[in-house]
Structure 1
Amino acid sequence: MNQTQIRLVDGLSEVTDAFAVAVAGADPQAPVPTCPDWRVRDLVGHIGQAYRWSAELVRSRAAAPPPDPRDEDPGDPHGWAEWLVASAADLIGAVTDTGPETVVWTFLGERPAWFWLRRMVADTAVHVADAAFAAGRPFTIAPDLATGAISEGLELISAAEAAALKPDLRELRGDGQTLLLRPTDAGSGWLITRTPHGVTWECGTDDADVVVTAPVGDLLLAFSRRMTPDDPRLTLTGDAALLHHWWTHTAF
């Protein structure tokens, strides 16, 4: 494994541990405010199930439909942490044994197996926030993991295949409008351009039609729609309507 892939392995363990801490002692039937159709038990089931599902995708190198998290029973809450850690180890083992560069199936077509490590780190990072909010606990994340999750999300949104999976993303097409996500604590930001063919993005710090400035953890919350564009933790300059339009059409 190269250094990027090793960091993803470590990152998966970090976000899994953080998720387990966030749900420790929580009421399994409590609602999750940022995932209105889910209870805490559903959220826990989703994380472990997603790890094991993606591990099997890597091993088989074949497609399989996404499972319903409500079909997964994560067991007694006292065993959640152990079950989550074992599920993460299953995915890590599958990628390691198969080879991180081995081409496997993904919902965006064939990709290297380590795609699933990156996808699960990003997905779980956001769900750590969901679990923390449900339990009334603070959300924290390593800046590099938040940075990676935003970049990974933009790669999904801008992929040629994305609109077929999420038709609402077609609404993000434009004629050159630009958005800049500018972190205060994590290097350069993300300059997003709406083109007639879809979204493109690059690392950058130049001004844009709308600029959102905040610590990168808060930018991740806004990017993943866990924080509204009007939240006072975000500093907004420029065309607020453009940001609201983006936020409305980027559910994923």
Structure 2
Amino acid sequence: MDTSAYVQAVAEQTRTFAEWVDGRDATAPVPTCPKWTLADLVDHVGAVQRMVAMLVGERLSEPDSAYARYAPAPADSSQWRTWLTEGAAEAERAFASVTDDTPVWDPSGGAAGVPFWSRRLFGEACVHRADAAATLGQRYDLAPELAVAATEDWLATMTSRGYWENRPAFADALRGNGQTLHFHATDASGEWTARREPDEVALERTHADADVVVTGPATDLLLVLSRRRPPEASTLDIQGDRAMFDLWIEHMNWVTDA
């Protein structure tokens, strides 16, 4: 997917999310984010989209000024739908005003902030819609191709240089000497091999024999890797070193407590 496709998908995912949460109980606990209420989830989704819209639209080279203008969600849940769709529209306008090579802060440690943020917002929208589904008893459906793209975002973010350098607990736990995990979607084109090295987790988009091999539908891969579905509640086939896989899942926490 390219930047425009990611941004369009963000708007689509957000519209569904907004319909689900509209007028619902703000205090409802989010089972997939144990310390969050539905209000926290809505606030996170909408506020992040607005902050990214500032970063991209204003071509910011560091995040502090965008973070300083954090805009909380309305307390009245009957206003959430409008607030969320307006935030997604702000993001669409911001990305439409730039090109992929426009300089924008890139927390991954790369130098492609616009593509990074379009993909990251898409991954956020897909995963947090799963949180809303779990909270509100909604059926979670995601086209396999979109689930592959969201899984790519999750794995690429977690294995980025910026994540390694800024999350020392993750680096300490996942550093290794060549141990490998392979993830393979069975209903769409997507497979990844993660290799644990002393100074990084290297990610390759290729088939490989590995110490752990995880195969199954793309949506199950996304929800298990993002810790939104326990492996035992999925249809994934997990072969090899289960302890290594469990260690990996334990540290797949992009947002603290989420």
Q: What TM-score do you get using the length of structure 2 for normalisation?
A: 0.88
Cα distance in 2 for partners of 1:103, 1:247 equals 33
Q: How many aligned residue pairs are there?
A: 249
Q: Deviations over 1:169-199 (max 9, x none)?
A: 2111111111111111012411111112221
Q: Distance in 1 between matches of 2:193 and 2:21?
A: 35
In the alignment, residue 83 of structure 2 is paired with which amino acid?
Answer: W
Alignment partner of 1:13 is 2:25: no
- Distance verdict in 2 for CA 1:198–1:114, change over 3 Å: closer
Contact 1:22 1:131 in 2 (8 A): yes
TM-superposed CA distance for 1:241, in Å, is 0.7
Give the whole-Å Cα distance in 2 for the aligned partners of 1:47 and 1:161: 22
Letter in 1 for 2:223: L
Percent identity (aligned): 37
**Alignment correspondent of 1:53:** 51
Task: State the structure with bigger RCO (CA 8 A, min sep 6), 1 or 2.
Answer: 2
1:47 maps to a residue whose letter is V
Displacement after TM superposition at 1:39 (Å) = 0.9
Q: Counterparts of 2:223 and 2:19 in 1: how far apart (Å)?
A: 19
Higher strand share: 1
Structure 1 residues 68-112: Cα deviation after superposition (integer angstroms, max 9, x where no partner):
9x9713353233222211101101111211334311113234433
- Residue 86 (structure 1) aligned with residue 86 (structure 2): yes
Deviations 1:115-174 (A, max 9, x none): 222111111110000010001122111222221122122222222222222112211111
Q: Does 1:156 find its partner at 2:157?
A: yes
Mapped contact 1:229–1:244 kept (Cα < 8 A): no
CA contact under 8 A between 1:55 and 1:91: conserved in structure 2? yes
Q: Counterparts of 1:15 and 1:91 in 2: how far apart (Å)?
A: 13
Residue aligning to 1:206: 208
The residue matched to 1:193 in structure 2 has which SS?
A: strand
Measure the CA separation in 2 of the matches of 1:221 and 1:19: 16
- In structure 2, distance between residues paired with 1:54 and 1:86: 13
**1:173 aligns to 2:171 (yes or no):** no
Match of 1:64 in 2: 63
1:122 matched to which residue of 2?
A: 123
Answer yes or no: is the 8 Å Cα contact 1:23–1:132 preserved in 2. no
CA distance in 1 between partners of 2:17 and 2:108 (Å)? 27
Matched residue SS, 1:90: helix
| Local SS of the residue matching 1:113 | helix
Shift of the alpha carbon at 1:55?
0.8
Report what 1:141 is aligned to: 142
Q: Secondary structure at the match of 1:35?
A: coil
Contact 1:168/1:250, CA 8 A, preserved across alignment: no
SS for the counterpart of 1:199 is strand
Unaligned 5+ residue runs, structure 1?
A: none
The aligned counterpart of 1:99 is: 99
Alignment partners' CA distance in 1, 2:247 and 2:96: 41
Quote the Cα distance in structure 2 between the aligned partners of 1:138 and 1:198.
37
Give the letter for the 1:64 counterpart: P
Instruction: Decide whether the 8 Å contact of 2:148 with 2:189 is kept in 1.
Output: no
Mark the CA change 1:152 to 1:61 in structure 2 (over 3 Å): closer, same or farther. same
Counterpart check, 1:243 vs 2:242: no
Q: Which residue identity is paired with 1:186?
A: A
Which piece of structure 1 moves more, 36-45 or 127-136? 36-45
* 1:158 aligned partner, one-letter code: T
Q: What is the deviation of 1:232? A: 4.3
CA RMSD of aligned residues (A): 2.1
SS at match of 1:149: helix
Per the alignment, residue 233 of structure 2 pairs with 231
Cα gap change, 1:173/1:85 in structure 2, threshold over 3 Å: closer, same or farther? same
Measured in 2, the distance between the counterparts of 1:111 and 1:206 equals 28
